[in-house]
Amino acid sequence: MEKRLILWLMALLSVIGVQAQDNANSRQARKMFEEVLQKITGPQGSTMHYNVNIASLYKTEGTIWYKGKKSKYLSKNSRAWNDGEVAYVIKGDRKEVEIYHANSPKQSRFGDTFKLEPNNYTYNIVADPRGYLITLKAKKGAGVKGMKEIRALLDKKTHNPLQLRIKVAFVWANVEVSDFKSGGISDDTFTFPRHLYKDYEIIDKRD
């Protein structure tokens, strides 16, 4: 009986030990992931060059700027300025400026696909030759319809983002990041330059 009790206790302690390690790992992963998000979207602002490849079906590259709720991106396929209240979007070669409310999902064809709710994911971090790999997986029953898994590769020294792999349904999107800079981003960056597009048709899509 005593031997069985000791074996049972050892097994229980080993399970608790694994769970503690998992929880510590999860906490570390989430903390580092949130620190990176703060670097990107915090009040200091950030900018980076990105190269996107979605299962070789859709490819684009460009530069993006963030600052709190404000954003701006310039790519081969589209351009957009979001000053936190109003979003101005130019798609392709059309001489049209579409205007949306800043938080409208209609301004992007991906809508809410890439919207992240942090509490709907589990977190894990492992060492990688280039730095740290953080993996987020959608919790079962969380009702996540967009991103099912996210793998973020961070630089070993700076913890700056190097690569993102995002799984939506059964398709993986790969995002390579370069020229990342956090801080020193002016609010003027997000102001739509009307004078450059004065001959464009204005299409107001605000409800």
SS3 of 97-113: EEEEECCCHHHCCCCCC
Confirm whether 24 is domain-assigned.
no
DSSP code string of 93-149: T-SEEEEEETT-GGGSTTTTTT---GGGEEEEEEEETTEEEEEEEEPTTS---SEEE
Confirm whether 4 is domain-assigned.
no
Confirm whether 86 is domain-assigned.
yes
- The per-residue pLDDT for range 20-43, each reduced to its tens digit, is 456 899 999 999 999 998 998 899
CA 51 – CA 53 distance, rounded (Å): 7
Quick check: 86 and 190 in contact, CB under 8 A? no
Confirm whether 186 is domain-assigned.
yes
pLDDT of residue 17: 43
Confirm whether 160 is domain-assigned.
yes
Where residue 126 falls among pLDDT bands split at 50, 70, 90? very high
- Looking only at the bridges linking them, the beta strands covering 78-82 and 86-91 are antiparallel
pLDDT of residue 12: 39
Q: Which range has the worst mean pLDDT, 74-88, 97-111, 158-172?
A: 97-111
Confirm whether 17 is domain-assigned.
no
Number of domains within the chain = 1
Other CB atoms within a 10 A radius of the CB of residue 90 amount to 19
Confirm whether 23 is domain-assigned.
no
Task: List the CATH number of the domain containing 182.
Answer: 2.50.20.10
Domain assignment of residue 185, given as a range: 36-204
Quick check: 98 and 205 in contact, CB under 8 A? yes
CA 106 – CA 121 distance, rounded (Å): 25
Whether residue 2 has pLDDT greater than 50: no
- The per-residue pLDDT for range 152-207, each reduced to its tens digit, is 999 999 999 999 998 988 889 899 999 999 999 999 999 999 999 999 999 999 97
- For the entire predicted model, the pTM comes to 0.80
Where residue 6 falls among pLDDT bands split at 50, 70, 90? very low
Confirm whether 19 is domain-assigned.
no
